[in-house]
């Protein structure tokens, strides 16, 4: 990624990120990757809790912070103080978006409700992420991604058939997904403003972000009363569609999502009669254990590398089950530059996941890793609000900044 420039799609958009941890701030990261000026507003004492969440580094900020607060500016401002709230209102008047993920009612308690801020800036877009959303009987309850996975139905599906529900890959998954939904919502709201509409807020509950991704479980339950259970690596209505161990004790993912793909697999396995015996997906689902056992036996006769080559030749969809160590050595990740090497002024070289999505004409740009606390306070307040050096010193003395 190159440096930011005015050709980026979000250039000219100013975002005030007053949120904490990952969910709403990840929306800001996405917007910042594509040129928005994202001003991270943090408490003067300690800053965002994300700075201490995850693997610590020698600069005092965590690896998560250095990665996910990238391309942002850090400004310290105590929103709970009268002076801090007033400075924030002045920044709102000069900004396009506010990101927040406090418990519902918190901003209202501080005199910073969306309605009051929209009076200052009628075109303001606000992203509001909370555990359960701004309405409903649970609106005031706290929650994190793990709770969202459970409440939203995802954790119930994760794990082996006879085992307990497990973490679905990452304990922060709902946070990242909520940030993505948040970015979509902010872009839609900004589009409405551009078309002449008024500002609005985007309301996201963490649990909703994962629930919306659970394919057909809601309509199937409503129509047939079927409650999907945990299935390990298997898939509800397709077989074979699972993980299988190779001769060298590695794993591959194999996905035959339709009858044509199963025909290719049967041919590649040297058992073309299987496709005749089990011509449709429902036929295979009925005999799931047998089909899986036959595929597992076949896979176990190859090393992972051999098996993947055989599948490529047979046009059977398959791929390695990669660890992060495997990913760092994979030529596909290298060719696509999914990992980027950057320099942090405090700890040196870092490797970060590259920005998404990939745009052909206005790609994302890397500017900086997560900033040190308050590193842009004086610059932002003087540039945008005309705060004098004397006033800045007084604000520091009173711990407003």
- Residues marked active site are found at 175
Distances (CA, A) of 159 to 166, 251, 378: 5, 17, 50
Tell me whether strands 37-42 and 72-76 are parallel, antiparallel or unpaired. parallel
Q: Is 227 exposed, middle or buried (0-12, 13-18, 19+ CB in 10 A)?
A: exposed
What DSSP element (H or E) covers 363?
none
Angle at CA of residue 50, ends 48 and 52, nearest 5°: 100
Paired tokens of 192:
């409405």
Tokens read off for 259: 């009858």
Strand partners, 351: 341
Residues in contact with 56: Cβ distance below 8 Å, sequence separation at least 6, in sequence order: 62, 63
How far apart (Å, rounded) are the C-alpha atoms in residues 328 and 334? Answer: 8
From the list 139, 110, 112, the residue with the least C-alpha distance to 206 is 139
């Amino acid at each position: 990624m190159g440096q930011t420039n005015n050709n980026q799609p979000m250039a000219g958009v100013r975002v005030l990120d007053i949120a904490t941890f990952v969910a709403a701030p990840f929306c800001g990261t996405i917007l910042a990757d594509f040129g928005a000026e994202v001003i991270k507003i943090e408490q003067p004492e300690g800053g965002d809790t994300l700075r201490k969440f995850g693997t610590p580094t020698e600069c005092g900020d965590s690896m998560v912070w250095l990665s996910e607060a990238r391309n942002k500016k850090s400004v310290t401002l105590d929103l709970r103080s009268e002076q801090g709230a007033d400075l924030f209102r002045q920044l709102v008047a000069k900004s396009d978006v506010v990101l927040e993920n406090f418990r519902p009612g918190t901003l209202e308690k501080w005199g910073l409700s969306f309605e009051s801020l929209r009076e200052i800036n009628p075109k303001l877009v606000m992203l509001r992420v909370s555990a359960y959303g701004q309405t409903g009987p649970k609106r005031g309850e706290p929650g994190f991604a793990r709770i969202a996975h459970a409440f939203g139905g995802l954790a119930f599906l994760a794990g082996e058939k006879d085992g307990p529900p497990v973490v679905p890959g990452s304990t922060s998954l709902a946070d990242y997904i909520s940030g993505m939904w948040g970015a979509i919502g902010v872009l839609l709201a900004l589009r409405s403003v551009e078309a002449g509409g008024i500002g609005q807020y985007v309301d996201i509950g963490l649990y909703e972000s994962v629930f919306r991704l659970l394919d057909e479980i809601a309509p199937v339950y409503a129509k047939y009363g079927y409650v999907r259970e945990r299935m390990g690596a298997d898939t509800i209505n397709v077989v074979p569609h699972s993980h299988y161990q190779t001769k060298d004790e590695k794993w591959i993912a194999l996905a035959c999502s339709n009858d044509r793909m199963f025909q290719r697999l049967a041919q590649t396995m040297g058992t073309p009669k299987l496709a005749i015996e089990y011509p449709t997906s429902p036929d295979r689902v009925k005999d799931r254990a047998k089909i899986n056992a036959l595929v597992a036996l076949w896979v176990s006769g190859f090393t992972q590398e051999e098996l993947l080559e055989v599948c490529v030749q047979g046009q059977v969809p398959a791929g390695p089950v990669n660890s992060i160590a495997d990913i760092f050595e994979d030529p596909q990740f290298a060719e696509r530059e999914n990992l980027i090497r950057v320099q942090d002024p405090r700890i040196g070289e870092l490797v970060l996941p590259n920005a998404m999505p990939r745009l052909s004409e206005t790609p994302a740009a890397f500017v900086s890793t997560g900033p040190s606390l308050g590193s842009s306070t004086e610059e932002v307040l003087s540039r945008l609000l005309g705060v004098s050096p004397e006033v800045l010193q007084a604000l520091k003395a009173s711990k407003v900044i």
